[in-house]
Amino acid sequence: MTIKNVLMFATLSMLLFSCTDKDDSVEITPPGPQLIVKFKFDPTQVRLNNLGQPSTVAAGNAAQSPVFNAISSHYLELAPNANTALGAGTILYHAPETTAGGTNAIDFSKAKIVGENEAFLSIPLKDIAAGSYEWVRCSLSYQDYNINVLSGGTEYVGTLASFVGFRTYITSFNSGGYPFTVNSNKDQGYWAFGLQGVSYSTSGQAPAGATTVPNPLFATSPIPSGSCVVTGKFDSNLVIAGNETQDIVVTLSLSVNNSFEWQEVNTDGKYEPAAGENVVDMGLRGLIPSFQ
């Protein structure tokens, strides 16, 4: 090899090495402190009505506190005060919607479904408007939970999928090991149910307006009829300065205190669909937000 060839080879080697070294040293900017939102399900939390007032089970009805498997939300907003109109606060999340079923509806195929204490939302704090926030509004869209059922003198556990959003376009889904095919829009109150250990599943529709949606701000900040925007107040305001150095975790504690309610035929406090006992309410019974 001549001296000229050696020099050319050395130069080429240096160029290749430099390119490789540059590509390997690309820096990724850290995401920075996040606002993380999680859900909690509390069977002992106060049970509220649509006006945000303590409520008992109606005469002639019975209820139970379901064991939650999963949940999804359609909309999440921080509100500075009680006079902030719905939509005028800081909107953290708005789930995808579609007109595939005709009228506009929540697109269930794109829903984010989480269990208790799983992160539902994580967004950079720097992207949230700085301010002091007193209230949280959370529009729930989907619930999946276990309930106790009595049939033929035997108690079973069943899994109920409950769609509580204003309207949901559903192609298909699986709940409790049972597949359900819909391919259409379903209004608030659509449900699907399957027994565990027994080959039985069914679905149906709760009456319009039957889903409880607690809103303590009904007088100053009403919500649209048929929506599921549950409203709750922080014990102390959530203050976002915009220069945070650590994550803020917001926990949305939902009351499931006797949230599954039915009209009794046999007054034994047991849910007996075979006896003609119909579901009258599947709404969450309150929201208490907290942060750390």
* d(C-alpha 106, C-alpha 167), whole Å: 6
Question: Is position 83 within any domain?
Answer: yes
Question: Is position 8 within any domain?
Answer: no
Question: Is position 29 within any domain?
Answer: no
Give the residue numbers spanning the domain of 236. Answer: 36-291
pLDDT range class, residue 8, cuts 50, 70, 90: very low
pLDDT per residue as tens digits for the range 68-117: 999 999 999 999 999 999 999 999 999 999 999 999 999 999 999 999 99
Question: Is position 179 within any domain?
Answer: yes
- The total domain count for the chain is 1
**Contact residues for 243 (Cβ-Cβ < 8 A; gap 6+):** none
Question: Is position 253 within any domain?
Answer: yes
State residue 16 phi and psi, 5-degree precision. -65, -40
Cα 167 off chain centre by = 15
Reported pTM: 0.88
Mean per-residue pLDDT for 13-17? Answer: 35
Question: Is position 19 within any domain?
Answer: no
Question: Is position 31 within any domain?
Answer: no
pLDDT per residue as tens digits for the range 23-47: 555 666 667 999 999 999 999 999 9
Q: What is the DSSP code (8-state) at residue 109?
A: G
The answer to whether the CB of 189 falls within 8 A of the CB of 220 is: no
Q: b/e map of 141-165 (b: 16 or more CB within 10 Å)?
A: bbbbbebebbbeeeeeebbbbbbbb
Number of H helices, E strands in the chain: 1, 18
Torsion of CA 234, 135, 129, 72, to 10 degrees: 100
| Closest-CA residue to 288 (of 221, 228, 236, 222) | 236
HSE-up of 77 (CA within 13 Å, CB side)? 21
